[in-house]
Amino acid sequence: MESTVQAVTVVIPCYNDGAFIMDALNSILRQTVLPERIIIIDDGSGAETMSVLKSIKNNIVEVVYQTNQGVCTARNNGIGKATSSYILTLDADDIFEPTFIEKAKHILDSDMKVGVVCCHYKEFGNSSKNKDIIKPKGKITQDFLVKNNGVASALFRKKCWEEVNGYDVNFDKGYEDWDFWLSVLSQGWEMRIIQEPLFNYRKKIHSRDTMALAQFDKELKMKIFLKHKKVYESSIDVFAQQMILRNTMLVTNLNKTKEGLEFQLGKIILKPIRIIKRLLFPSNE
Least Cα distance to 227 among 269, 175, 272, 262 occurs for 175
> Over the stretch 236-251, which tens digit does the pLDDT of each residue have?
888 888 888 877 877 7
- Cα 136 to its chain centre, rounded Å, is 10
Identify whether the C-beta of residue 95 lies closer than 8 Å to the C-beta of residue 200.
yes
Dihedral (CA of 27, 30, 31, 37) sign:
positive
Per-residue confidence (pLDDT) for residue 47, from 0 to 100: 97
Q: How far apart (Å, rounded) are the C-alpha atoms in residues 43 and 66?
A: 5
- Tell me the C-alpha to C-alpha distance, in Å, between residue 184 and each of 93, 129, 228: 25, 32, 11
Identify whether the C-beta of residue 225 lies closer than 8 Å to the C-beta of residue 232.
yes
CB atoms within 10 A of CB 68: 12
> Over the stretch 94-125, which tens digit does the pLDDT of each residue have?
999 999 999 999 999 999 999 999 999 999 98
- Amino acid present at 267: K
Least Cα distance to 177 among 156, 202, 204 occurs for 156
Q: How far apart (Å, rounded) are the C-alpha atoms in residues 112 and 103?
A: 15
- Tell me the C-alpha to C-alpha distance, in Å, between residue 263 and each of 221, 256, 269, 270: 36, 11, 10, 11
62 - beta bridge partners? Answer: 39
Per-residue confidence (pLDDT) for residue 206, from 0 to 100: 66
Per-residue confidence (pLDDT) for residue 277, from 0 to 100: 53
Q: How far apart (Å, rounded) are the C-alpha atoms in residues 278 and 270?
A: 12
Identify whether the C-beta of residue 42 lies closer than 8 Å to the C-beta of residue 66.
yes
Q: How far apart (Å, rounded) are the C-alpha atoms in residues 160 and 215?
A: 30
Q: HEC profile for the chain?
A: CCCCCCCEEEEEEECCCCCCHHHHHHHHHCCCCCCCEEEEEEECCCHHHHHHHHCCCCCCEEEEEECCCCHHHHHHHHHHHCCCCEEEECCCCCEECCCHHHHHHHHHHHCCCEEEEEEEEEEEECCEEEEEEECCCCECHHHHCCCCCCCCCCEEEHHHHHHCCCCCCCCCCCCHHHHHHHHHHCCCCEEEEEEEEEEEEECCCCCHHHHHHHHCHHHHHHHHHHHCHHHHHHCHHHHHHHHHHHHHHHHHHHHHHHHHHHHHHHHHHHHHHHHHHHHHCHHHC
Residue numbers in the chain where pLDDT is lower than 70: 1-5, 126-130, 206-208, 213, 256-285
CB atoms within 10 A of CB 60: 14
Per-residue confidence (pLDDT) for residue 86, from 0 to 100: 98
